[in-house]
Amino acid sequence: MRQLTDKVVARLQADMQSPDLTGTRYRLVRYLARGGMGSVWLVEDTILQRQVALKVLDFVAAADDLAERLLQEARILAGLEHPGIVPVHDVGTLTDGRAFYCMKYVEGRTLAQHITGKSVPDRLRLLERVAEPVDFAHARGFIHRDLKPENIMIGAFGEVLVMDWGLAKVRNIVRNIARQPARPPTEEELTTEAASSATSRATGQGSVLGTPGYMSPEQKRGDEVDHRTDIFSLGALLWFLVAGSSPGEGSAGGVKVPRPLRAICDKAMATDPVARYQSAGEMTADIAHYLEDAPVNAYRENLVERGARLYARHSTAVILVAVYLLMRFLFILFARR
């Protein structure tokens, strides 16, 4: 009996999941990637004659809550117009009953692929650009909740995009996922806030959303979270960028992480949200200080370190003045003889 290889099985599964685009303006090109609740396909918009990405739910069955969640994700993306957030073009339902939304196709690399061979300052500047759309979303009341290297894309023109807002929610919702009452949402509750709550129920009561290593302690416990859970994730991303490994993998693997950067990571990833940076902007301000050879707020330098930093910043001036003083000293010495 001929056995099917994994590759063939994967292909068959992909074919089974391939969306039926009959009656839509889209033409299927190829499969792109797997998301948490669906798959992403490269399609051609036949009217505008451009390639776009289509995110489609996997199953029709039990799709009501998931469909609402997908719609919620599309609404969040549509409401967050920022160069660092993928724009949404369209939402709808396929003829096979599956919900979808259409977004910009990002042709590029993930953060992990992009940083190979990049210097630490370049990596830090990348993180600053990741933090911009996150800060923008926080200012508008949204939390990403799944920031990780795989969800950061660098486009063909060097643009940095924060992807996969599938776990995003409105911040400051005082809900404990584990204590959510088991009832369907009423019509009047279908506001953005209630939709977010429905998202929680759709994922299963007590279930933990996010990625280990990048997830804050309060998110791991299933407690209420606010925007500082994303600050934790940004700290984990910073560690990944400077140490080359995710925080969950332990030490930096032989990479020497400068103390100020380590202090920034530690502050962003503090167990208590109160001890963290209170905004993504605060964190990037400290990163900017580090890049400018200025003292960072997260780290208290001792005199020796301060002197070394000032010397590194003004070494030429220090050497010139030292040479001048040495010359003066030699003149005095010879004048006395």
Partner 1 sequence: MNKIVLGVVLGAVLGAFDGLSAWLTPAVRSQIVGIVIGSTVKGIIAGILIGVFARKVHSLALGILFGLAVGLVLAFIIAQLQHGYYFQIMLPGGMVGLIVGYATQKYGSLQTTQRA
CB atoms within 10 A of CB 153: 20
* Stretch (H or E) spanning 195: helix 192-202
**Residue 312 CB, nearest approach to partner 1 (Å):** 14
Give residues 77-96 in contact with partner 1 (rule: CB under 8 A): none
337 is an interface residue for partner 1 by CB under 8 A: no
The stretch among 31-39, 83-91, 264-272, 325-333 that binds partner 1 (CB under 8 A) is 325-333
Comparing CB distances to partner 1, the nearer of 303 and 332 is 332
Output 178 or 326, the one with its CB closest to partner 1: 326
Beta strands 142-143 and 26-34 are: unpaired
Tell me, what DSSP letter sits at residue 85? B
Q: Which is nearer to partner 1, 60 or 310 (CB)?
A: 310
Q: Catalytic site residue 146?
A: yes
Return the SS3 of 56. strand
Q: Give the nearer residue to partner 1 in terms of CB position, either 3 or 316.
A: 316
| DSSP 3-state of 289 | helix
Alpha helices in 1-119 (DSSP H): 6-17, 63-79, 111-114
- DSSP H or E run through 202: helix 192-202
CA distance 218 to 197: 17
How far apart CA 270 and CA 124 sit, in angstroms, is 20
Asked if 321 touches partner 1 (CB under 8 A), the answer is yes
> Contacts with partner 1: how many residues (CB under 8 A)?
12
Kindly state the smallest distance separating residue 157's Cβ from partner 1, in Å.
Answer: 30
Is residue 323 a contact point for partner 1 (CB under 8 A)? yes
> CB of residue 128 vs partner 1: minimum separation in angstroms?
24
- The torsion of the CA quartet 155, 245, 128, 138, rounded to 10 degrees, works out to 90
> The dihedral of CA 163, 196, 142, 217: what is its sign?
negative
Identify which of residues 59 and 324 has a Cβ nearer to partner 1 in the complex.
324
Binding of partner 1 by 47 (CB under 8 A): no
Using alpha carbons, select from 282, 280, 281, 288 the residue that is nearest to residue 260. 288
In the complex, minimum distance from the CB of residue 328 to partner 1, in angstroms, rounded to a whole number: 6
Q: Does 331 bind partner 1 (CB under 8 A)?
A: yes
Least distance in Å: CB of 335 to partner 1?
A: 5
Contacts of partner 1 in 301-320 (CB under 8 A): 316-317, 320
Q: How far is CA 47 from the centre of its chain?
A: 32
- One residue of 61, 182, 304, 335 binding partner 1 per CB under 8 A: 335
User: Which DSSP category does 280 fall into?
Assistant: H
Choose the catalytic residue: 45, 65, 135, 146: 146
Q: Which amino acid is at 319?
A: I
Catalytic residues: 146
Q: Which spans of this chain sit near partner 1 (rule: CB under 8 A)?
A: 316-317, 320-321, 323-324, 327-328, 331-332, 335-336
